[in-house]
Structure 1
Amino acid sequence: MKKPQCEKPTAYNCGQACINVSKSCQQSPSDSFGRNRLQKLKQVAAIFAKSKGVKNKKGQESTNRLIDNITAKRKVEAGELKQARGEINAERRKARLKAEAKAKREQLLKLSEEFEGKSKTKGATAEVIKGASPNAKLWDVYNSYKKQISKAAKSNPLGAKEMVIKANKKLEVIKEENANFLAQSRKLIEVSSPTKINASISSPSYREGVEAFSRMVSIPNLKDPINIVDAPPESQGRSFYNLGSNQVYMGVESSSTVIHEMSHWLEEKVPGIRREVVDFYNKRTKGEDLVRLRDVTGNKAYGEDEVTRTDKWLHPYMGKEYKNASEILSMGMEMMYENPAYLAKNDPEMFDFIYSVVRRG
């Protein structure tokens, strides 16, 4: 019988059939030639299988490296894309809030004009609500009336009694108009979804400030707690936030001061706010030298080492220089609470910044 023609070196005949080195011979040759060929085939098959395994292993390693490189590249690209989207969204948020802040300013100024025009006190209320702190101005009006009455009582006791009656009536009207003005003004700058504040307070008198603060900021997932306690005697009535902690120490019972100190806490706890505050501060004070607060204010209660960059801040203290903090957010939030219309009118850029930076939802 004619032997089959097999393709060497990858196949050999094993008697009456060809067999590839990757297969098993199904023949059992009886002759010595067939047995020798089968033995040779098995040896070649073993060598071939071993070399194929090495090649496959190297190929797999090369493939794995390629896949890892592609995966890593895609991760980098995904990260860069995510960052780019985040930056775009941040810019869109700023632009949207800037336009919104401008609209709020216009509403506040219109509200202020309406109250001034409709006042029943012949301008007295207008003078109160024009100030940075209407409630503090109200006390000035009260003390002014008190001095006038005290002076009149010395020469005209009966007339002084009439002055007291008129002054009290006028003060009641001013108080009511001022309260209504502030309630409507503060309502305009509230966020749509007040932030839940995990606050622990040592006195019920601080609660109003905490609640007002929560209505002014929109910070998703703000989980850091804050403890608001009475300041120790050695603080001499000065309130402060202890950097690197969650502790606010209150030296006075004042809602606006609670808001001031809580703003220091917020600036430290939300890195995005801190970065924007620093950028705003640097932009406003570029090229300005540091000066001592006691020199520019005339207030010797400020220490020798307390310095500021004056800029066009509504109060020099707003530009106070710190290492890891500022008075921008704290003073801005305090002013926003005390009289948002005053801030809107006298420093619109500051108003827009404060309005926007605490809205991160």
Structure 2
Amino acid sequence: MNWFEACPQPPHWQIAWAPLETHPLWQALRGCPQDPNHHAEGDVWNHVHAVVEALVSLQSWRDLPQDEREIVFAVACLHDVGKPATTKTEPDGRISSRGHSRVGTILARNDLWEQRCPFARREAICNLIQTHMRPFYWLEQHRPNRETILLSQLVCCEHLAILAEADARGRISESKNQLLEIVALFAESLSDLDCRRKPFAFPNDTSRLAYAADPNASELIHRFESFGSQVILLSGFPGVGKDTWLRQQHPNLPVVSLDEIRASFGISPEDDQGAVIQQGREAARAYLRQGQDFAWNATNLSARIRGETVRLLLDYHAQVRIVYLEVPLTRLAEQNRSRKARVPDSVMLRLRDRWEVPTCLEAHQLEMHIHE
């Protein structure tokens, strides 16, 4: 089902519910409970219906260009699809769904990838799903404007504010008006910081990365750093073409390859990878101590794993450039089958379950090579 085809159009703005309600991601929402203190409207199915209806009634959404309306509409449809997998009853009897934004983002990314949704549009949707709760906690931040600045690096904040308003209106809760007031304050901050429809402009890449890492950093300081190694950190599914890209673009660059380490130790991709990663980090440290440029070649599809590696590199004052590669699902399957060391389907599925596309807040530079 194409989420965009269900998007209402003027002048009647009628929602095409049938294709939405038969999608497996929506079917899973039926009967998924929510904390009645925050969602007296009932289960997630009821809430998402109400959010979509609230969104379509907002003049701010109707005033967007059609392609942007479709993006925000898709996010409203998908923003809580991670709840069925994360909802549980706590010891005190409260219902929680911690982590549902991240899980829902991964589910949506896979669904949209299978639909051949264009990369930029898909990631605009996924990043909004990932961040959709953050405006509600904006005032609780030590520095609320810092939260706005960081969000502007990930999403169109105007879209996020519209979505958050619809999310607040699509619930029955005593805190509903308070949430709407917080969202309005968040929306006001966008104009103050000149990032309503564009990212906040940092002086340079080092300033942006330092600001993301340090809660007390100033967004205005022009930071300079004398780098040691320059490191390319590759990210992408097995078989996407990382080795080929390195051979073509940097044929003489030393490489720390987790595939090669895995092969030298006779470790299967289905086995625990702890020893492989540790060996790779030791090899990286040897290059870093010498100030030698090199590439770190691994899947790096998890933000947590990428973060651990990037922190190691930054500890040695390296300049980090993440290079992300992606091809369509059918082409990836063909390329994986043609590999000398084919990665089992079970491993590919496991990687899809933790697939997080890199963002500009993770490294000094981010380079995307997308074949659609």
Larger Rg: 1
| Structure with the largest fraction of helix | 1
- TM (normalized to structure 1)? 0.26
